[in-house]
Structure 1
């Protein structure tokens, strides 16, 4: 058998590789358990404590056929876990006095004042309170790839609800809204700004979109098991029009996210690509109160602002998926009573569709990044992520 044929022969086991400080053996055990009992295919998890990487594990396969092992350098689309780095861009600008969270968005983006949005504040964009959870007019996936068209339609549209009064998850629009403010101030879209200010200087392996030269190390996303048509219809009957727009206009699936069009576009709410190590480092900037890798990215005061709660409520888009109320800070979700990011209610983070997660807890000095390619059906709090977070806190 040739070496090529050996490489393409499906493997039947999922060895775990990497480093785990003995103190955090529980994280390794939970990671291994995800493969044994929670249908993990390929994944990686990383933890930092005080800016030091204490867990850096990976295992499984980067493709559904189980012919490509997941390696230390495997990257994957992390969906909405990308929103944390986008929020970081806004906080860098605010820390430099170039962005005022209490200013109207139209002060930076004049066209945004249309359709009664002249009083929408920048903080409303960061906290999903702008009422622009999804576009009103049909918007195709190809149109989503067009930055100018998408931002122009958002600037022209009327909000679904009174801005500032409630949060409703801006699944795809968040990145264009916050990102266009970043672009108007800096001249750069979030991906380029993040590279210039954070990932480049710190050597963090994370991009918004994916350059063609990196395709060979990208994991293949495997979609969650589809609900029955009747089940899907029942779910959408329960959703408000804003929620339907947020989640289906356009609808995006695993196959779309591995296409050249998706990878070439800049969709800052959903098409970040990176390793677990990279996610842990980016959220580690917040966990380190603005400092990471020996560099200060934010002042301590600016880093603290990200978890400035904007009021708890039943989310107008995701409310059916959570019991009770949730609360978003200035760009990230607070752990709150649900314990989504551990037992400290003031820890915070962001999940990505299907399971990925970034977590920051400045009080404990810890960050966590988890990435995977077999998507679960959850928008948040996938059982694999929850097991890893519980294990981390059991070791602290």
Structure 2
């Protein structure tokens, strides 16, 4: 049953949301802002959940968190404190080691840095070592890139957050989670965190896996199908990254893991706050605007369309590959989402936060059932309501 409310003219979104959730075993929330105003606030409940789910529930956002991290970096760039085209070592001198002296902040944002895992050991870094931020940052600073930064791109599932989080820490003197809380979530009154406070723990609803998390054998088999040579650093990095991500997902099932800052995947929040955040990127929300129009255009300008995947993975390159701006995902061909020019970030399992400046749309969608892999294209749960949202916005313009 779909609960919540919509403004007049947006009624079709309620029906479309219900259609998309019809076969979903978990709970979900959908929020939409249009030109700074909330127009859709809907949710479904999971009566079988360990904790009751509803409009005020919060859950893990997975890689939607990367968009939150990107917002922090762009905010510092707007203030003149970070130059996106400058070497990372300007802010973090130790990072210049092992061939990384010319790696730019933009390379970090666009997954071009050549550091997709925390180690060259295919076993990856496990728990509790993944909770040691100082150790992970030192390892990244001393590491030799798997490919020459800026010449290729490959998704940095967890290292993205530590790399950019350290830039933020060096510039501000505080952790990225604290900076986000003070400079982003605070002014906008968002229920979004990198590191869930104990005071909000009672609102947390754990995610449930529709499919088992891949184990070591499944990860090795998947990487093996890529045809990489035994001992290849890229193969080791892919195995390590997958194992590290599985360990972090395990950590989210504990209070310690939820309280920790994982700025690539560990954000926790609700759909209302995601929609409000993205609305404040493209316009004013209750008098608050985070980024200028010029900064938004820079953030959503394609950064990887001209680049291949690294080394042997080039033979798997194709028109359906992921596309990135500076810290944000961009729609792939055939993925209209909110329209051409949309930017935002999806999260494993089906979460989504996105904005479309031209139409003034911003959306947040969260779910508790891990039922979707980013490499598979748009989540089928999104398709009905993204179409309805676009049509409703077009109808408002015509009216």
- Tell me if TM exceeds 0.5: yes
Of 22, 26, 30, 1:41 maps to: 26
User: What corresponds to 2:293 in structure 1?
Assistant: 300
Q: How big is the shift at 1:298? A: 2.2
The 8 Å contact of residues 117 and 158 in structure 1, kept in 2 or not, is answered as yes
- Under a length normalisation based on structure 1, what TM-score does the superposition of the two structures give? 0.88
- Residue equivalent to 1:178: 164
Count, aligned residues: 376
Report if the CA contact (8 A) 1:31-1:388 is conserved: yes
1:209 and 2:206 are equivalent in the alignment: no
Q: Which of 345, 359, 368 is equivalent to 1:364?
A: 359
Distance 1:394 1:243, change over 3 A: farther
Determine the structure 1 residue equivalent to 2:373.
Answer: 378
Contact 1:78–1:271 (8 Å) recurs in 2: yes
Q: Quick one: structure 1 residues 357 and 153, their matched pair in 2 at CA, closer, same or farther if it must change by over 3 Å? A: same
Aligned partner of residue 29 in structure 1, secondary structure: helix
Q: Which secondary structure state, in structure 2, belongs to the residue aligned with residue 298 of structure 1?
A: coil
Q: Write the distance in 2 (CA, Å) between the matches of 1:104 and 1:256.
A: 33
Where does residue 396 of structure 2 map in the other structure?
Answer: none
CA contact (8 A) 2:88 2:104 kept: yes
Q: 1:127 aligns with which of 107, 110, 124?
A: 110
The more displaced of 316-325 and 70-79 is 316-325
1:26 aligns with 2:12: yes
* Whole-angstrom CA distance in 1 between matches of 2:143 and 2:5: 49
Partner SS state of residue 93, structure 1: helix
**TM-score where L is the length of structure 2:** 0.88
Matching residue of 1:329: 325
Counterpart-to-counterpart distance in 1, 2:168 and 2:137? 12
- Aligned to 2:98, what secondary structure does the other structure show? helix
Structure 2 Cα separation of the partners of residues 79 and 168 of structure 1: 18
8 A Cα contact 1:199 1:205, kept in partner: yes
Q: Indicate conservation of the 8 Å contact 1:334/1:348, yes or no.
A: yes
After TM superposition, give the deviation of residue 68 of structure 1 in Å: 4.0
Contact 1:84 1:283 survives alignment (8 Å): no
Partner of 1:191: 177
Q: Partners of 2:316 and 2:268 in 1: how far apart?
A: 28
Structure 2: segments with no counterpart, 5+ residues: 227-233, 394-399
Distance 1:255 1:388, change over 3 A: farther
Separation in structure 2 between the aligned mates of residue 318 and residue 349 of structure 1, nearest angstrom? 25
Checking the alignment, whether the CA contact within 8 Å between 2:72 and 2:179 is kept in structure 1 is yes
Over 3 Å counting, the alpha-carbon distance change for 1:319 and 1:267 in structure 2 is farther
Equivalent position of 1:349 in the other structure:
344
Matches within 5 A, 1:245-256: 245-252=240-247, 254-256=249-251
Distance 1:122 1:255, change over 3 A: closer
Whether contact under 8 Å (1:59, 1:69) holds in the other structure is no
Measure, in 1, the Cα distance between the counterparts of 2:315 and 2:73: 26
